[in-house]
Structure 1
Amino acid sequence: MQVSGYIRIIRPANSVVAGIAAVIGYIIATGTLVPEAFLLFLVVLLVTGAGNTINDWSDVEIDRVNRPERPIPSGAVSRNGALYFAGALFLAGVAVSFFTTPLCAAIAVINSFVLVVYAVKLKKTPFLGNLAVSYLAGSIFLFGGALAGTTGLVHAAPVFLITLLAMVTRELLKDAEDVEGDSLQGASTVPIRYGVRVTVLLAFAFILCAVAASALPVSWWGPLYLAGIVPVDLFIVYSVLRSVSCRDSGCVKKSRSASLLKYGMFASLVVFLVAALLL
């Protein structure tokens, strides 16, 4: 057993960023920050770390070939050790969530369940795996808003919806880029089953829905928010539009749609945060 292996298996940078996103979710929902928000960070850190661990536990055979340096295939963490560690992290995260609000605790329990099901089953299921990842990403903001009760949940809901739809778009585009590699591993993704052309068109439909959803916060942040989000929305639509004519994975990679979309999503988060603090 190596302590460093147990640290690496939770992907600490990824888990810390997820925890910070939960705090940002609270700020977006309320425009304020309270000491209790640290509990949000801690819960998401623990549950995300557990999800990363159970994911490595499930992918051990694939990682032996593709990622032999990862903690389990490298021998830094045993497979059983990873399973017990994931269970302990899930239990700790859910336990801490009971010191927040019932809404937060409910989301923590649901997300822990989704993370396990994703690792064991949904990851290999076309589109449902993409949807699960996208829900988990968006629900971090929902979890943050839930600390402020029903009102906070309502204010965080548009950001959750926008993130979910944008993440589905990005997941589809990434799958479209990875057709060759995924095919060699026997994966069954949307572009492998239905083609790259269908996938990029589906991705474009989802991003249009995300852009439409970005208008929802206008009801409480007003026209200044709209002035800030419209240029970002235009960039996001442009980034995905670059790949709409593609019919193969090489074209999708060359378009850089997935990378540009990531920058657009970050810019939209900045707009949400500034609007919550100033408007």
Structure 2
Amino acid sequence: MHGYLAITRPVNSVIAGLAGVLGYLIATGTVRPEAALLIGIVALVTAAGNTINDYCDAEIDAVNRPDRPIPSGAVSGRGALIYAALLFTGGVALALVTNPLCLGIAVFNSVLLVLYAVRLKGTPFLGNLAVAYLSSSIFLFGGALAGAEGLLATLPVAGVTLLAMLAREVLKDAEDVEGDRAGGARTLPMLIGVPRSVTLALGFALAAVVLSMLPVFRWWGLPYLLAIGTLNIAVLFRSAGVRGCDTPACVRTSGVTSTLKKGMFLSLLVFTAAAILC
């Protein structure tokens, strides 16, 4: 049974569920008991996605990660496939007791998780885009529990997450060009080069900064502006070190992927505080 638990990445799945609750909090400024449904739905769908991903990566993991549940024999390939189907079914079934918006997102994301594992993961940029959307859509899902207005309220944080994740995903691929080439993978930096990938990623990061200002005009005011503005300046300043990089080693040395990860976390804190206090 331990293998079936490990294959779902339970900690990551629960954290994803909590992010759904955070989306609801940002949308409404409060948390009601029904928001607990979000944890279960998101955790089940995320666990299913992790399981189907391991199923599709079984041959690669047999070489690179033989300790994982399928290569180690703790979970059979057929067992993983059935398990993923049950988890997806459980997540979507639980979404039936929410509302049509949440149900639609749950179904769409379930299909996309399968498509990502089967096809998109090895597709340049589309795989990056799928990862970025799936991460950002958790906040949309949480907001959708409060209806269309809640969904609208979470658009800025979802948009910022999408753009920042896209920037980070492209830069991570730029860091790993040598390893990906040796492994036979095809990524965006391998197609357009590291310099253009860096420029594109910085463009996404700048767009995230611009989008983060939207709530100043629609929901929140000066305190939010000061907090998010200070954070944006710090992130852009730290990210500037990657400009001009034309090699994977340069991108790695810049530390920009770590900066973007910390920036996303801190921006969520700012969004949450603003939703509660402003």
Q: TM-score, normalised by structure 1?
A: 0.98
Give the equivalent residue in structure 1 for 2:3. 5
Q: Which amino acid aligns with 1:80?
A: R
Aligned: 1:222 with 2:235 = no
Give the equivalent residue in structure 2 for 1:241. 240
**How well do the aligned residues superpose, as a CA RMSD in angstroms?**
0.7
CA distance in 2, matches of 1:83, 1:27: 34
CA distance in 2, matches of 1:59, 1:116: 12
- Most deviating of 71-80 and 239-248: 239-248
Residue pairs, 1:124-143, within 5 angstroms? 124-143=122-141
Give the equivalent residue in structure 2 for 1:114. 112
Give the equivalent residue in structure 2 for 1:162. 160
**What secondary structure does 2:160 align onto?**
helix
Residue pairs, 1:190-209, within 5 angstroms? 190-209=188-207
CA distance in 1, matches of 2:235, 2:170: 15
Structure 2: which 5+ residue stretches go unaligned?
Answer: none
CA distance in 2, matches of 1:88, 1:239: 44
Q: Do 1:166 and 1:265's aligned partners in 2 also have CA atoms closer than 8 Å? A: yes
Q: Which amino acid aligns with 1:249?
A: P
Aligned: 1:77 with 2:75 = yes
> What is the deviation of 1:236?
2.0
CA distance in 2, matches of 1:173, 1:276: 31
**What secondary structure does 1:217 align onto?**
helix
Aligned: 1:273 with 2:272 = yes
Q: Do 1:10 and 1:52's aligned partners in 2 also have CA atoms closer than 8 Å? A: yes
**What secondary structure does 2:33 align onto?**
coil
Aligned: 1:15 with 2:10 = no
Instruction: Say which of 87, 91, 94 aligns to 2:92.
Output: 94
Q: Which amino acid aligns with 2:114?
A: V
Q: Which amino acid aligns with 2:88?
A: F
CA distance in 1, matches of 2:138, 2:114: 17
> What is the deviation of 1:152?
0.2
Aligned: 1:123 with 2:110 = no
> What is the deviation of 1:239?
3.2
| Count, aligned residues | 277
CA distance in 2, matches of 1:109, 1:146: 14
**What secondary structure does 1:242 align onto?**
helix
Q: Which amino acid aligns with 1:115?
A: L
